[in-house]
Amino acid sequence: MEWIETTGASVDEAKERALDRLGVAEDDLEYQVLAEPTSALFGLRRTDARLRARVRPVSPRSKEERRDRGHRRGQKRASDRAGGARRGKSGGSRRDSDRDAGRGSDDKAGSTNKRKSRDGGRSEGKTQQRRGVDGGGSKERSGRLSTKETGKRDTSHTDREDTQESPKGTGSDDNGDTADLQGMEVKMMDLETQAQVTEDFVRGLLEHMGLEARVVSSIDEDRALVEAQGLNLGLAIGQRGDTVRAITQLARTMVQRMSDGNAEGSLVVDVGGYRERRRSFLTEFADTQAEEVLADGRSRALEPMNAADRKVLHDAVAEIDGVTTQSEGSDMERHVVILIESEG
């Protein structure tokens, strides 16, 4: 959106004029104060406040934000792997403790057997021997149970690692960029949805303006066109199409907000066929001016126009051999100059 320049007795008045010209709410306005209002001695001379403004542009998430999200996701995966390693180490320590406890029981049972054998207790020795056998069986069962439980823990930990460290091509990426881009593709608002949303918006707007029109839409490659067809729609067109351009800008802002900046293609709103009539007029006008430049060899500076009209002129003259165009001036004074091609 190009910058416009407005003036007023105060900064607030100049800002209100900018809001009226752009047709947006104050939250969507971006402006810069070029000059504060001043007054000379006794108020005999006064200068107005002057500012430049435009519709605040809406952009999608930056690459830096997506990289930050991927970095945080990578840190979380590293933390999960470290936690799994600590749990695996803890399981190993428990297995070592079980083995140490088993060896301690064997040593104690052996010393008891030696004492009882020295005392000549044969029957007691047999009984102790049977205890030792039973103790060994229980120790073996305990060892099998401990190994089984530890195996379950190890297996689950291995599964987590295999799931987190999946190979490329399975939808996982260490940096998170691929996942974010896929998410953006899924959330991208298509042209059909944009056209339907804009139809409803334009229909409701015209009803509030007290105008009757039939609102339809069409899609041509990567452009959605929403048209309001009817009679006596001059109020929705405005001087030199200012109102219809403001409606288009409002519709684009609404779509950008609804799609979080992820809307494909371009969106254009037309009222009463104004844009097509304007395009035809400017194309014929450009042809006429180009012929005069070729006839007398002198360049022609056309009147200031908005960016859309200037583009029509550039495109029309580009089809004519021997002449070219360039834009000169700034802000509201920017205009197209048609000149002999050799002069460029």
Backbone angles phi, psi at 297, to 5 degrees: 75, 10
Distances (CA, A) of 99 to 102, 104, 135, 144, 319: 5, 9, 14, 12, 90
User: Per-residue pLDDT averaged across 182-205, rounded?
Assistant: 83
**pLDDT tens-digit profile of 238-259?**
988 899 999 999 999 999 999 9
- CA–CA distance from 71 to each of 75, 78, 110, 161 (Å)? 6, 11, 59, 18
Helix axes 242-258, 191-208, angle to 10 degrees: 130
Predicted confidence (pLDDT) per residue in 20-34, tens digit: 787 777 777 888 889
129 vs 195, more confident: 195
| Coil/strand/helix, residue 51 | strand
118 touches 148 (CB < 8 A): no
Identify the band that residue 317 occupies on the pLDDT scale cut at 50, 70 and 90.
Answer: very high
% pLDDT > 70, the chain: 59
Residue 161 confidence class, pLDDT cut points 50, 70, 90: very low
Q: What is the pTM of this model?
A: 0.44
Please write the tens of the pLDDT for every residue from 277-288. 999 999 999 999
| 84 pLDDT tier (thresholds 50, 70, 90) | low
For 219, the token pair is 């899609």
Distance CA 324, CA 339 (A): 6
Mean pLDDT computed over 160-187 = 43
Sign of the alpha-carbon torsion through 220, 225, 230, 231:
negative
The mean per-residue pLDDT over the stretch 116-133 comes to 46
CA–centroid distance for 115 within its chain: 82
- 209-239, pLDDT tens digit by residue? 999 999 999 999 899 999 999 999 999 999 8
Tokens read off for 175 = 């940096």
Judged by average pLDDT, the poorest of 85-94, 156-165, 202-211 is 156-165
